[in-house]
A and B are shown apart, each in its own frame.
Chain A
């Protein structure tokens, strides 16, 4: 087990810069998830840590040693691939023990380690089967077992759950978390699924366009996103963004969304935004759960307004409502008993205590 750090790491393919100088410190035992849309450089970053891709510029250290030119086999890492990459001609036990056999471990120890990993992953019965006789979830477990038996310094996961169906994915997610709680190996996990990122990570690294947008715990990213990209990427349904501007109306700072709709800002928010220039193009960012049906009692910072619902989506425990403000589609989450109907008007409440204000041009959260 070890800490991993990346210093100004760059990856360039001919003309294209896939990774544009990222810095990242991963401490021992930590579970880090790299998340971002496809093509953001997250897999390339992982493969550079693995040694499967050369580093164009910068340094990667594992356990304090610079490993830029160390081949994968000498980095003491284990990797789980998206399509599992099990050797089809070997049994489960042979697949899991392959790395140990190449390193000439004693037979008894190989057997002990394989048995232990199989028990941990609940695949003891499958040990003599070939990969083609296994289901997707079982193959995934074997791939993890192959990583575990090596007892490496770092685990690397490259979108390991993408090939599984939704139900199995949830199950395996919990499984991975359990395994990490037991073995506590430093882990770098790549996914494009923000739910996986949020549920698994100690810290999430959100990447976009070859750069790191934000690093933080799942809660930090959700509640205090640094940029519009992070705010929109994390959370489902995604955060609403509405163009707005600040106005001073009768001594209180208000936020104007449309000609008809303007809300006074609650005290702490007003204090925070009061220095902003009034002419600047701004975006109001608000998550769907902060737009609800009108509450029976007035609360500070919660303002109500009328909207005509375009579409409603009953989800069971809640109903998603979609309406339009000045041509911008907005999503809210209301109680299923609140009587939301397609095409009907509804009195909604917006919780400005949880709003975000963004610079429209730069996308930075203010």
Chain B
């Protein structure tokens, strides 16, 4: 530290010394060390996230052969196509329905698991997490077999009740139902585990106080559990909304967007148009549509959390 304590007039003559000492001071500063240690991650994000994001912005302004700048031409083209609006509608239905049911089922299952005595709880927690842990591409293949119209387990079982055969992935409505069902199956455990953690953090005495205050089972959930879990519910929903909106693997494997584009969502249609249809700029334009929708959702949900802060 002695070198930085030099009086200014003595260093004034020797510019080199000064430069070196200020570099040394900079290295000694905590913030510099912190920056250097996070640099690998920052580089990774720049290379894998920020650069591709801006590159796709750039791509979206080119023509199909990527030779000519067309400005917002790709977007104008998209707006005029019915399929695009179909994809917008389907993405919204897919994400909202799936997230709603994931949250609902997660909430209910979390309550059941929470009420299991501590001894057996770990087992159940582990088993219930399995759908979320298996790579979705693998589990969706298994679902694909289950959904097969002619020899699948589902239709076979249903045939005993005189129902079916149901065209799980062949009919537009059923196909939408199927992709949403598989998405719920994959995603509900995540909600379950988050809600379970939130439930465990609610002090028992609050429930006891509510019981003495005269609250019944439903009032305890409404006035104690839900308000205490509000932040977790909001963050989990936002996170899941983003992931579900951007989902690719389940739809791609189960229906590949069919029948007749009736299960396409942004990511799968962008892939269809951009990669399979060899119109990369148009595909980039489609994928960019997720951004504003999710940004608005994020602003609303996060603003609410900031406003509330941590009440406990």
List residues of A whose CB falls within 8 A of some B CB: 50-52, 71-73, 77-79, 81-83, 85-89, 98-99, 102-103, 130, 132, 146, 150
Distance from A96 Cβ to chain B, minimum over Cβ atoms (Å):
10
Distance from B53 Cβ to chain A, minimum over Cβ atoms (Å):
38
Distance from A49 Cβ to chain B, minimum over Cβ atoms (Å):
11
Question: Is B205 in contact with chain A by the CB < 8 A criterion?
Answer: yes
- Among A72, A88, A130, A132, the residue within 8 A (CB) of B211 is A72
Whether the Cβ atoms of A73 and B213 lie closer than 8 Å is: yes
22 examples of A-B residue contacts, CB within 8 angstroms: A51-B211, A51-B212, A71-B211, A73-B211, A83-B203, A85-B203, A85-B208, A87-B206, A87-B209, A87-B223, A88-B311, A89-B227, A89-B230, A98-B213, A98-B223, A99-B212, A99-B213, A102-B213, A102-B215, A130-B311, A132-B310, A146-B209
Whether the Cβ atoms of A99 and B214 lie closer than 8 Å is: yes
Complex Cα spacing A81 to B312, Å: 17
Chain A residue numbers with a CB within 8 Å of B219 are 102
Chain A residue numbers with a CB within 8 Å of B206 are 85, 87
Whether the Cβ atoms of A52 and B211 lie closer than 8 Å is: yes
Known A-B contacts A87-B224, A88-B228, A89-B228; the reply to A81 vs B213 at CB < 8 A is no
Chain B residue numbers with a CB within 8 Å of A89 are 227-228, 230, 311
Chain B residue numbers with a CB within 8 Å of A102 are 213-215, 219
Known A-B contacts A87-B223, A87-B224, A88-B228; the reply to A132 vs B212 at CB < 8 A is no
Closest 8 A-B residue pairs measured CB to CB? A99-B213, A85-B205, A73-B214, A85-B209, A89-B227, A88-B311, A88-B312, A102-B214
User: What total of A-B pairs shows CB separation below 8 Å?
Assistant: 66
Complex Cα spacing A99 to B293, Å: 42
Chain B residue numbers with a CB within 8 Å of A88 are 228, 311-312
Whether the Cβ atoms of A73 and B228 lie closer than 8 Å is: no
Complex Cα spacing A146 to B214, Å: 12
Interface residue tally on B, bucketed by range: 20 to 34
For window 161-176 of chain B, which residues contact chain A by CB distance below 8 Å? none
Whether the Cβ atoms of A50 and B223 lie closer than 8 Å is: no
Chain B residue numbers with a CB within 8 Å of A77 are 212
- Interface secondary structure of B, over-half rule: helix
Whether the Cβ atoms of B311 and A132 lie closer than 8 Å is: yes
Residue of A whose beta carbon sits closest to that of B311: A88
Whether the Cβ atoms of A73 and B223 lie closer than 8 Å is: no
Chain A residue numbers with a CB within 8 Å of B211 are 51-52, 71-73
Residue of A whose beta carbon sits closest to that of B208: A52
Chain B residue numbers with a CB within 8 Å of A99 are 212-214
Chain B residue numbers with a CB within 8 Å of A146 are 209, 213
Distance from A192 Cβ to chain B, minimum over Cβ atoms (Å):
18
Interface string of B198-220 (1 = CB under 8 A from A): 00000101101111111110010
Complex Cα spacing A83 to B204, Å: 11
Chain B residue numbers with a CB within 8 Å of A103 are 214
Q: Which of B203, B216, B223, B230 has the most CB of A within 10 A?
A: B223
Whether the Cβ atoms of B312 and A132 lie closer than 8 Å is: yes
Complex Cα spacing A77 to B212, Å: 7
Chain B residue numbers with a CB within 8 Å of A52 are 208, 211-212
Complex Cα spacing A71 to B207, Å: 13
Residue of B whose beta carbon sits closest to that of A78: B212
Whether the Cβ atoms of A79 and B212 lie closer than 8 Å is: yes
Whether the Cβ atoms of A73 and B215 lie closer than 8 Å is: yes
Complex Cα spacing A52 to B209, Å: 10
Known A-B contacts A73-B215, A132-B311; the reply to A79 vs B208 at CB < 8 A is yes
Residue of B whose beta carbon sits closest to that of A71: B211
Complex Cα spacing A50 to B212, Å: 8
